[in-house]
Amino acid sequence: MTAPVFLVDSLEGVGPGATVTLDGPEGRHAVSVRRLQPGEDIVLTDGRGRGAAGVVVRTEGKDRLIVEPREFPTEPEPTPRITVVQALPKGDRGELAVETMTETGVDAVVPWAAARCITQWKGERAAKSLAKWRATAREAGKQSRRLRFPEVADAATTKQVASLLAEADFAAVLHEEGAEPLATAELPAEGSIVLVVGPEGGVSPEELAAFAEAGAKPYRLGRSVLRTSTAGTAATALLLGRTGRWS
């Protein structure tokens, strides 16, 4: 059985001979839900590339345990960095998209309020929805045993997405009418890749024009048309394989 992964605020300065206290919601989950016992293996991460793998020394109450790290794995900054701009899907499909993209290996997700999005984030709903996406990324990061969790940015406007695309080393918009398949696009060996996934109603002509002006070309994935909640995951997997990050 693989050791469970738990998130801590920081592992700065943690080295051989040290102990780490896991408490709060993560400690409660470890003690009261997972029921970890002294001597069991555990992995801690700060979600920013640092890890500490060791054993439980003791538990204290229902929400606190002490860990003795024995190994200190790290996950370096990825290159090229892959960001998916995800149009807001209906219902809970946004969390599904974040979950599967995180498990696959995306580095950043940018929620996008596209013109044809049925779902709109406004006011209190926006704050709650963004919090759900970020919580989903954390849980999926732990489940997939990542040491570096993806960033989930604040929701972006079309103008902000265009600026992000203009700064990328490779910028693309997934579009069923794209002349070139993403599978044959020339990709950078380093730097940043930014990929836009449109809403159920598609990317509007005005948005396509704005993104084209920023340097983003339309690309297609394949013959079938994927849902907005699954297209980003499929594209991320393709890019990870083609850039050698899965080798």
Query: Which DSSP string do the residues of 10-78 spell out, in sequence order?
Result: --TT--TT--EEE-HHHHHIIIIIS---TT-EEEEE-SBSBEEEEEEEEEETTTEEEEEEEE--B-PPP
Strand partners, 58: 66
Answer for the pair 196, 165: CB distance below 8 angstroms, yes or no: yes
Mean pLDDT of each 10-residue bin along the chain, 247 residues long: 91 90 96 95 96 96 95 95 96 94 98 92 91 98 97 97 98 89 95 96 94 96 87 97 94
Using CA atoms, how far apart are residues 161 and 137, in angstroms rounded to an integer? 21
Give the C-alpha separation, 62 to 45, whole Å: 21
Q: What is the 3-state secondary structure (H, E, C) of 223-239?
A: CCCCCHHHHHHHHHHHH
Q: What is the pLDDT of residue 1?
A: 65
Q: Which residues contact 17 (CB under 8 A, 6 or more apart)?
A: none
Q: pTM for the full model?
A: 0.93
Report residue 108 as tokens: 């950043």
Instruction: In whole angstroms, give the CA distance from residue 218 to residue 220.
Output: 7
Q: How is residue 88 written in tokens?
A: 């807001």
Q: What is the pLDDT of residue 44?
A: 97
Please report the pLDDT score of residue 169 as a whole number.
98
Q: CA distances (Å), 221 to each of 108, 227, 228, in order?
A: 20, 12, 12
- The rounded distance, in Å, linking the Cα atoms of 193 and 172 is 8
Say which amino acid occupies 222.
G
Burial pattern 128-166, b for ≥16 Cβ within 10 A else e, equals: ebbeebbebbbbbbbeeebbbbbbbbebbebebbbebbe
Which secondary structure element, helix H or strand E, spans residue 196, and what is its range? strand 192-197
